[in-house]
Amino acid sequence: MAESHLPPPILVADAAGLERLAADLAGEPALGVDTESNSLYAYRERVCLIQFSSRARDYIVDPLALDDLNPLGPLLANPAQLKIFHAAEYDVICLKRDFGFAFANLFDTMVAARTLGWPQLGLGALLETHFSVRLNKRFQRANWGERPLSPELLDYARLDTRYLVPLHARLAAELAAAGRGLEAQEEFERLERLNSGPNNGVSPHAFWRVNGARDLAPAEAAVLRELHHYRERQAERADRPPFKIMSDETLVEVARAAPRGLGGLQGLRGMTPQQIRRHGAQLLAAVRRGQAAAPVHPPHLEREPDEVRDRFELLHQWRKQKAKARGVESDVIVSRDALWELARRNPRTPEALAALEHLGPWRRAEYGDELLHVLTGQAWK
């Protein structure tokens, strides 16, 4: 719902406006930050909006209208200025991937709520509980790549950051009172270091990620590879997500059935008359290419040695008990990556713990002795 008592957000869609925004926000001690992307509507998603909120104003930057977003870089990388996100991981990855931004002094309100064991974690629930603000759910799946954006969409976008500064104040106070500030800070710093990963092409082995691919016979998998490649080409040409061209379930059914003619496509999941008219001939050609190719086998998945799996299970049970006693989700205690690293490396000394990549200094200090006891078969309670 629109917040009628708030001034309208400031839309930044030209270079002069971006320079003014950077100057206006440079002196702010804390900023709410969020992004909107078009992953449901484009073959390769991109950041379509970047929202900022200070204590007084809300700004919406339109990256699609701007050639250069470099003025935002110093804001995001300034260690003296707090950047407040909710569920920052996706936003950070997208902003690094699309614009190469670096981050410092990040605070994630969802991470803070999880650290405290709050029962409500979604931004909508938190805004309603703490500020009596209700987000309009009909905009959750909006196409942020379309222009122009309606005033209702802009107002919805600004609400994702409008209350982050006061929400941070409440969470930071509770973290301090609970003695959990350093614990949360360790996760904030991990988020700052996230790698964006590539967004420029599809791996030739990507078809193995289709649900059901590994259940196919090798000859069927060769057909699936060709079908997947066809779908990717169509999706890129149409600039649509692949699942909007054809579902994974349809690809697997066609690979299994290996139809010889258009009649063989009828009755397969997702193969409506319209889909058969649009894609039928090309699907049959892909089936023939797959049948002419050599069978393909799934990449070999290295099985962890039994002793590593045994150590992981002991560590997993330890983490589960710690989380239950505290009333938080298990990965708040120690991440799954850290558990596997502990199980594989099997450290036996504090010095060996300190060499691990995924176990930060706060968790080493808090849980290090217990973890070493678990790994050496000693009682830790």
In a domain, 200, yes or no: no
pLDDT score, position 201: 62
pLDDT score, position 302: 83
In a domain, 329, yes or no: yes
Mark whether 91 and 51 lie in a shared domain: yes
- Nearest CA to 28 out of 172, 161, 193 is that of 161
In a domain, 299, yes or no: no
Alpha-carbon distance 186 to 33, whole Å?
20
Alpha-carbon distance 169 to 112, whole Å?
11
39-48, 64-73, 131-140, 153-162: which has the minimum mean pLDDT? 131-140
Alpha-carbon distance 66 to 61, whole Å?
9
Using the predicted structure, report yes or no on whether residue 230 has a pLDDT greater than 80: yes
The boundaries of the domain holding residue 174 are 10-192
Token pair for 35: 């992004």
Angle at CA of residue 293, ends 291 and 296, nearest 5°: 100
Residue with tokens 């036996």: 348
| Residues paired with 85 in a beta bridge | 108
**Which pLDDT band holds residue 36 (cuts at 50, 70, 90)?**
very high
- Nearest CA to 228 out of 244, 208, 212, 214 is that of 208
Alpha-carbon distance 51 to 158, whole Å?
6
In a domain, 197, yes or no: no
pLDDT score, position 381: 57
- Nearest CA to 231 out of 184, 179, 297, 278 is that of 278
In a domain, 336, yes or no: yes
Domain finish residue from 165, 192, 219 = 192
Mark whether 62 and 160 lie in a shared domain: yes
Mark whether 35 and 184 lie in a shared domain: yes
CATH number at residue 159: 3.30.420.10
Alpha-carbon distance 201 to 204, whole Å?
9
Mark whether 32 and 105 lie in a shared domain: yes
Query: What is the Rg, in whole angstroms, of the alpha carbon atoms belonging to the chain?
Result: 25
Counting the structural domains of the chain, the total is 3
pLDDT mean over 244-255: 98
Is the peptide bond between 119 and the residue preceding it cis, with omega within 30 degrees of 0? no
Domain finish residue from 292, 323, 356 = 292
Mark whether 184 and 228 lie in a shared domain: no
Could you read off the pLDDT of 353-366 as tens digits, one per residue? 999 999 999 999 99
Mark whether 124 and 59 lie in a shared domain: yes
Mark whether 161 and 65 lie in a shared domain: yes
Could you read off the pLDDT of 133-187 as tens digits, one per residue? 998 888 889 999 999 999 999 999 999 999 999 999 999 999 999 999 999 999 9
In a domain, 198, yes or no: no
CATH number at residue 326: 1.10.150.80
pLDDT score, position 108: 98
Determine the residue type at 200: N
Helix, strand or coil for residue 26? coil
Mark whether 246 and 328 lie in a shared domain: no
pLDDT score, position 200: 54
In a domain, 301, yes or no: no
- Nearest CA to 213 out of 225, 201, 203 is that of 225
pTM for the structure as a whole: 0.92
How distant, in Å, are the alpha carbons of 118, 297, 298 from that of 301?
38, 11, 8
Alpha-carbon distance 380 to 178, whole Å?
23
Concatenated DSSP letters of 160-180: HHHTHHHHHHHHHHHHHHHT-
pLDDT mean over 309-323: 97
In a domain, 250, yes or no: yes
Domain finish residue from 241, 262, 292 = 292
Mark whether 319 and 278 lie in a shared domain: no
Mark whether 48 and 136 lie in a shared domain: yes
Read off the DSSP letter of residue 340: H
Concatenated DSSP letters of 118-137: -S--SHHHHHHHHH-----G
Mark whether 151 and 58 lie in a shared domain: yes
Q: Are 358 and 331 in contact (CB under 8 A)?
A: no
Mark whether 365 and 239 lie in a shared domain: no
